[in-house]
C-alpha cells in the first residue's frame, strides 16, 4: 500500500501543512521509523517502504492505530450512527468508561475527531467540530478503511524514544518530531516531555549518528542550536497554514480562515544534496545554516 493519504487524526503540533516541504529532505531508505508518531502525517503522506515503525508514548493513541489496523470493520460498526455533537463529545470525554481495547479506541477516535485541534489532554480537550470544515461522521468509515490499508504490516509500539532509537536497525531513516523545546506542552499533550528529555534525545542521536540517518524538526531557539551544534546541517524553514475553523469553548473564540506561518528548524545528520531523494523536488536553500563535521 503506497497511497499517500492524510492522517486519520487531528493532532496539535502535527506536520500536516509542512509535509511536502519535509518530503524534499527525506532520502531514499528501506526502514522508516517515527519515535514520536503523534498524528504521523509524514508517514501517511509518503510512500511506504519495506519496513515501517510508528511509536508514541501515548498508549491510547497507539491502541487506536492498532485497532484501525487490525479491526477496522469492528471499529466502523461501533461508530456507526454517531453524530458530531457537543453532547456526545461531553459523554465520551467525561462519562464513557472503556472496558476493552476496542472501547478505548472508540472513545479516542470520537473525541479526537471532534475536539479543538485534536487536543486530548482532559483539562484542555474542548468541543471543536465545524460542520463545514471537519470530517463528517459519515466519512469516518472511509477514513478508517484507507488508514487500515496503509497500516498493514506496519509495526506499532508505545515506549520511550530512547529504546526506539537504540534498537533501530543500521541504515534506518528516522523522522523525529518531539515537542518543542520552548512550548507550553502541558496544554496539549497527555505525557509531558521534560527539559532533560530534550538533552537525552540529543545524546542518544549523537551516539547513533554514525549508523542512522535522521531528520529532526524543532522550534528555532538558541537552546536547540546549541544542543545540535554537532550535526551536519540545520535548515531554517517556514511555511504557510490556515485555520479554517476553531471552536474553543473555554475562550469562546471562533476563527475562520486565519492565516499563520510555521517556522521550524530541520536538523539532519546527512547531506540532503548528495542523497537520492524519494521525491522529485528541488531543495529550497534559502536561510540555510550549514555545519559540516
Q: Are 283 and 273 in contact (CB under 8 A)?
A: yes
Three-class DSSP category at 16: coil
Least confident of 43-47, 190-194, 206-210, 213-217: 190-194
pLDDT at position 85 is 96
Mean pLDDT value across residues 229-246: 75
Does residue 289 carry a pLDDT above 50?
Answer: no
Contact (Cβ atoms closer than 8 angstroms) between residue 146 and residue 5: yes
Cα–Cα distance measured from residue 149 to residue 72, given in angstroms and rounded to the nearest whole number:
9
Task: Mention every residue, 6+ apart, whose C-beta is less than 8 A from residue 51.
Answer: 30, 31, 32, 155, 169
Residue 266 has pLDDT above 80, yes or no: yes
Q: Determine the Cα–Cα distance for residues 198 and 193; give it in Å rounded to an integer.
A: 8
* Angstrom distance (rounded) from CA 77 to CA 152: 20
Chain segment 152-169, per-residue pLDDT in tens: 999 999 999 999 999 999
pLDDT of residue 8: 93
> Do the strands 288-290 and 31-34 form a parallel or antiparallel pair, or are they unpaired?
unpaired
Catalogue all structural domains in the chain, each as residue range(s) with its CATH number.
19-290 (3.40.50.150)
DSSP assignment of 74-94 equals HHHHHHTT----HHHHHIIII
Query: Cβ(46)–Cβ(278) under 8 Å?
Result: yes
* Residue 141 predicted with pLDDT over 60: yes
Q: Are 278 and 26 in contact (CB under 8 A)?
A: yes
Cell of 288: 540555510
Q: Give the contacts of 133 (CB within 8 A, at least 6 positions apart).
A: 244, 245
Range from 31-40, 44-53, 89-98, 181-190 carrying the lowest mean pLDDT: 181-190
> CA-CA distance, 136 to 204, in Å (whole number)?
42
Looking at residue 127, what DSSP letter applies? B
Question: How far, in Å, CA of 228 to CA of 206, rounded?
Answer: 9
Residue 257's pLDDT is: 47
Residue 138 DSSP label: G
Instruction: Tell me: pLDDT of 3 over 70.
Output: yes
Amino acid at each position: 500500500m503506497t497511497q499517500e493519504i492524510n492522517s486519520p487524526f487531528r493532532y496539535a503540533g502535527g506536520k500536516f501543512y509542512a509535509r511536502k516541504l519535509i518530503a524534499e529532505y527525506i532520502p531514499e531508505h528501506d526502514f522508516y521509523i517515527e519515535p514520536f508518531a503523534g498524528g504521523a502525517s509524514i508517514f501517511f503522506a509518503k510512500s511506504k517502504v519495506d519496513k515501517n515503525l510508528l511509536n508514541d508514548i501515548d498508549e491510547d493513541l497507539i491502541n487506536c492505530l492498532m485497532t484501525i489496523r487490525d479491526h477496522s470493520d469492528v471499529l466502523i460498526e461501533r461508530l456507526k450512527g454517531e453524530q458530531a455533537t457537543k453532547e456526545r463529545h461531553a459523554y465520551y470525554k467525561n462519562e464513557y468508561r472503556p472496558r476493552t481495547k476496542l472501547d478505548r479506541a472508540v472513545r479516542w477516535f470520537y473525541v479526537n475527531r471532534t475536539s479543538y485541534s485534536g487536543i486530548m489532554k482532559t483539562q484542555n480537550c474542548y468541543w471543536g467540530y465545524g460542520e463545514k470544515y471537519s470530517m463528517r461522521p459519515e466519512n469516518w468509515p472511509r477514513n478508517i478503511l484507507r488508514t487500515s490499508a496503509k497500516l498493514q504490516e506496519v509495526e506499532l509500539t508505545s515506549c520511550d524514544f530512547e529504546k526506539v532509537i537504540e534498537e533501530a536497525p543500521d541504515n534506518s531513516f528516522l523522522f523525529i518530531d518531539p515537542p518543542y523545546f520552548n512550548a507550553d506542552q502541558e496544554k496539549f499533550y497527555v505525557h509531558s516531555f521534560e527539559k532533560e528529555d530534550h538533552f537525552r534525545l540529543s545524546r542518544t542521536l549523537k551516539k547513533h549518528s554514525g549508523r542512522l540517518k535522521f531528520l529532526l524538526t524543532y522550534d528555532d531557539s538558541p537552546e536547540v542550536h546549541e544542543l545540535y551544534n554537532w550535526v551536519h546541517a540545520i535548515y531554517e524553514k517556514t511555511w504557510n497554514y490556515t485555520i479554517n475553523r476553531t471552536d474553543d469553548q473555554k475562550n469562546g473564540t471562533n476563527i475562520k480562515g486565519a492565516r499563520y506561518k510555521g517556522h521550524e528548524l530541520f536538523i539532519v545528520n546527512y547531506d540532503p544534496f548528495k542523497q537520492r531523494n524519494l521525491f522529485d523536488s528541488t531543495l529550497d536553500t534559502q536561510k540555510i545554516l550549514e555545519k559540516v563535521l
